[in-house]
Amino acid sequence: MEQSRLYKVIGVILTLILSVMTVSNYSGYTNADKDSELLRADLMTAFSQQQEAYKEFPEMQNAFDGFNEQIENKIVPHQYRQKSLVRLIGCLVALFGIALLRNGKRIGFHLFLGGMLLSIVAAFYAFGLGMVGWLFNVTYIIFTAAVATYYYIKREYLA
């Protein structure tokens, strides 16, 4: 009984997290012009501060130049809007999957994985496999791996 209660609590927490992710992607889709400019400015500031710290290493300067070029070329409103729309769809599918998992349906696990994988692939497609693509995906990958591992271990509760 205790395990079942914990299972439901974790399901509710995951539902809330995915709801926030969905709203965030909707906001990114509707405000792509502003969001992409703010994100680009924040990343450029962060990378310029790191670049100053590694000023005496020429090989690091080349890497930072590549990062700055990726940021300028990849984080543009059109690509940001495209990524946000596909991620929004993926998060909605994953949210539906989590709702089914909370009710003990095995198909929910597949929907969750499919939706999250769609979200991850969308960002890699929009931003490439470089630093920017990984920057957008690291939290999604960790979240997906943790949730998938948990529900894979608890698969005996699924019908």
CB atoms within 10 A of CB 5: 9
pTM of the model: 0.81
Residues 95-122 pLDDT 10s: 999 999 888 888 999 999 999 999 999 9
| 138: pLDDT strictly greater than 90 | yes
Tokens standing for 11? Answer: 């399901």
Rounded Cα distance, 45 and 42, in Å? 5
Residues 20-78 pLDDT 10s: 999 988 988 888 888 777 777 777 777 777 767 677 777 776 777 777 777 777 778 88
Q: Where are the domains of the chain?
A: 2-33+77-157
Tokens standing for 41? Answer: 């400015």
